[in-house]
């Protein structure tokens, strides 16, 4: 399965590079001035990951659109500088330092893994370089105590995610909640967010059982954690996992009788890979919901439809809505739109001026939502809790939003 994903990624990257090189504006744009660079560090060589593909494609399509319209700062082309971090924080930080040293580089985007973005955010002020998170959700990616903060997010956060999962479980009639999370910064962020939300719901009968921790990247079995939670009286499972651990858990649950499988309310790490393909047809037999953002509904506007159609063509997909990690496409695209507007306001590639401009932008119509404004000095979250939704995979492999219960 991983070999098939690798082949698809290589095909995708080859097509992307060939397309950019053949665009009619390319030669003219390069003649008008030095490129303005946007950096990105992502888990490019993680075989099961598709979030990096979706984010990168969103970034590249936005760059193509901006360059086709004349570029930035009087005709200079935008250019993506890409680095592989393999989801390792130290490698991501090394990439960040290398990218920040480039002339006319205005910001660096991360990808899915929060520990990488946390380290980048902690060093952003020292490097005087804005950091954008188009996926990583840990609350610690942003820090209001850092003033000025150089980290920005176009994504959800753990507080919104865990709140949405708890509310959905409660609406479905569950009271005793189990939490299975990685022993990492992301897992601890989710536990803190869940406990805080439970504290706000003291008037209800919701109960959080003691958390079960697993080792990220090192677990070959997950079902014993579920068994322990079930023994403690769990009615529904809050899952914080990426696709490798999520696949292990789902396949183990499928080996059990259907009546002992708990309903699962999952954070979106499992959607960072092609989860239906990785799990197989049995996924339909698991009661699984996963948190997403309204970027999942990118096709609701003409501009979003166009971006999605082009992305699907680039990826070789016959069904655009079957694109894995679809939300990353919209988040990546809108990150670049926001940076373009900051460039226009700053009229310079000086990063301290761009950072200040990001907090003072006029409304921007993105493919995910309208940002009015995207950020303020006190708020570096471009999205809002109202942009969070739950979804389920259908038999066709599409991830579709569930209707809210109110």
- Domain extents for the chain? 2-157+297-383, 159-294+389-401
Do you know the residue count of the chain? 406
pLDDT (0 to 100) of residue 24: 42
**Rounded Cα gap, residues 333 and 343, in angstroms:** 16
CA dihedral 7, 9, 11, 15 (to 10 degrees): 180
**Are 288 and 385 a contacting pair, CB within 8 Å?**
no
Q: What is the mean pLDDT of residues 125-132?
A: 98
Q: Distances from the Cα of 128 to the Cαs of 122, 309, 367, in angstroms?
A: 11, 37, 29
Helix (H/G/I), strand (E/B), else coil: 399: strand
Q: Which residues contact 391 (CB under 8 A, 6 or more apart)?
A: 289, 290, 291, 292, 296, 399, 400, 401, 402
**Rounded Cα gap, residues 75 and 9, in angstroms:** 32
Which fold does the domain 2-157+297-383 belong to in CATH?
Rossmann fold (3.40.50)
Q: What is the mean pLDDT of residues 107-115?
A: 96
**Are 54 and 328 a contacting pair, CB within 8 Å?**
yes
Helix (H/G/I), strand (E/B), else coil: 130: coil
The more confidently predicted of residues 23 and 35 is: 35
Q: For the residues of 141-174, what is the DSSP string, one character each? A: GS-TTSSS--EEESS--HHHHHHHHHHHHHHTT-
pLDDT (0 to 100) of residue 279: 97
pLDDT tens digits for range 352-363: 999 999 999 999
Q: For the residues of 18-46, what is the DSSP string, one character each? A: HHHHH-THHHHHHHTSPPEEEEEEE-TT-
Architecture (CATH level 2) of domain 159-294+389-401: 3-Layer(aba) Sandwich (3.40)
The pair of three-digit structure tokens given for residue 236, joined into one six-digit string: 């529904």
Mean predicted lDDT score pLDDT of the chain: 92
pLDDT tens digits for range 258-302: 999 999 999 999 999 999 999 999 999 999 999 999 999 999 999
Helix (H/G/I), strand (E/B), else coil: 72: strand
The pair of three-digit structure tokens given for residue 71, joined into one six-digit string: 């570029």
**Rounded Cα gap, residues 330 and 132, in angstroms:** 14
**Rounded Cα gap, residues 250 and 279, in angstroms:** 7
Q: Distances from the Cα of 6 to the Cαs of 16, 44, 53, 404, in angstroms?
A: 15, 10, 11, 36
Q: What is the mean pLDDT of residues 129-156?
A: 96
Q: Distances from the Cα of 131 to the Cαs of 19, 123, 354, in angstroms?
A: 27, 9, 12
Helix (H/G/I), strand (E/B), else coil: 213: strand
pLDDT tens digits for range 205-250: 889 999 999 998 777 899 999 999 999 999 999 999 999 999 999 9
Establish how many alpha carbons lie within 13 A of residue 141's alpha carbon, considering only the half-sphere containing its beta carbon. Answer: 34
**Rounded Cα gap, residues 169 and 374, in angstroms:** 31
**Rounded Cα gap, residues 378 and 376, in angstroms:** 5
Please return the burial class of 366, using the count of CB atoms within 10 Å of its CB with bins 0-12, 13-18 and 19+. Answer: buried
**Rounded Cα gap, residues 387 and 252, in angstroms:** 33
Q: What is the mean pLDDT of residues 132-157?
A: 96
Q: Distances from the Cα of 385 to the Cαs of 46, 150, 366, in angstroms?
A: 30, 22, 17
- Comparing CA positions, the residue from 106, 152, 146, 153 lying closest to residue 126 is 146
What's this model's pTM, rounded to 2 decimal places?
Answer: 0.92
Positive or negative, the CA dihedral 131, 134, 136, 139 is positive
pLDDT tens digits for range 76-89: 999 999 999 999 99
**Rounded Cα gap, residues 54 and 377, in angstroms:** 29
Domain pair 2-157+297-383 / 159-294+389-401, same fold: yes
């Amino acid at each position: 399965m991983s070999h098939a994903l690798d082949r698809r990624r290589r095909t995708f990257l080859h097509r992307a590079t060939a397309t950019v090189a053949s665009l009619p504006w390319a030669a003219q744009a390069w003649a008008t001035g030095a490129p303005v660079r946007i950096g990105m560090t992502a888990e490019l060589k993680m075989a099961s990951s598709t979030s990096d593909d979706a984010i990168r494609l969103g970034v590249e399509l936005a760059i193509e659109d901006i360059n086709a319209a004349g570029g930035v700062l009087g005709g200079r082309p935008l250019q993506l500088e890409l680095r592989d971090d393999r989801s390792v924080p130290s490698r991501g930080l090394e990439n960040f330092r290398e990218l920040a040293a480039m002339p006319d580089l205005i910001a660096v985007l991360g990808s899915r893994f929060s520990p990488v973005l946390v380290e980048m955010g902690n060093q952003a002020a020292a490097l005087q370089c804005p950091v954008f998170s188009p996926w990583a959700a840990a609350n610690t990616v942003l820090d209001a105590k850092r003033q000025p903060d150089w980290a920005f997010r176009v994504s959800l956060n753990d507080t919104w995610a865990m709140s949405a999962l708890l509310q959905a479980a409660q609406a479905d009639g569950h009271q005793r909640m189990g939490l299975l999370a990685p022993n990492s910064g992301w897992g601890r962020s989710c536990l803190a967010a869940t406990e805080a939300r439970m504290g706000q719901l003291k008037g209800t009968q919701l109960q959080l059982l003691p958390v079960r921790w697993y080792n990220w990247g090192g677990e070959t079995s997950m079902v014993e954690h579920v068994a322990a939670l079930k023994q403690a009286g769990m009615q529904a499972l809050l899952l914080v996992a990426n696709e490798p651990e999520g696949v292990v858990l789902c396949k183990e649950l499928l080996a059990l009788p259907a009546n002992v499988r708990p309903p699962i309310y999952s954070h979106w790490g499992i959607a960072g890979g092609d989860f239906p393909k990785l799990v197989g047809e049995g996924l339909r037999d698991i009661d699984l919901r996963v948190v997403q953002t309204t970027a999942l509904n990118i096709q609701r506007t003409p501009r979003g439809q166009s971006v999605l159609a082009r992305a699907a063509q680039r990826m070789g997909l016959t069904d655009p809505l079957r694109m894995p990690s679809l939300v990353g496409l919209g988040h990546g695209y809108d990150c670049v739109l926001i940076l373009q507007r900051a460039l226009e306001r700053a009229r310079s590639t000086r990063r301290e001026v761009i950072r200040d401009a990001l907090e003072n932008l006029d409304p921007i119509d993105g493919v995910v939502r309208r940002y009015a404004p995207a950020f303020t000095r006190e708020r570096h979250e471009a999205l809002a809790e109202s942009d969070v939704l739950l979804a389920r995979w259908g038999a066709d492999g599409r991830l579709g939003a569930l209707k809210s219960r109110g």
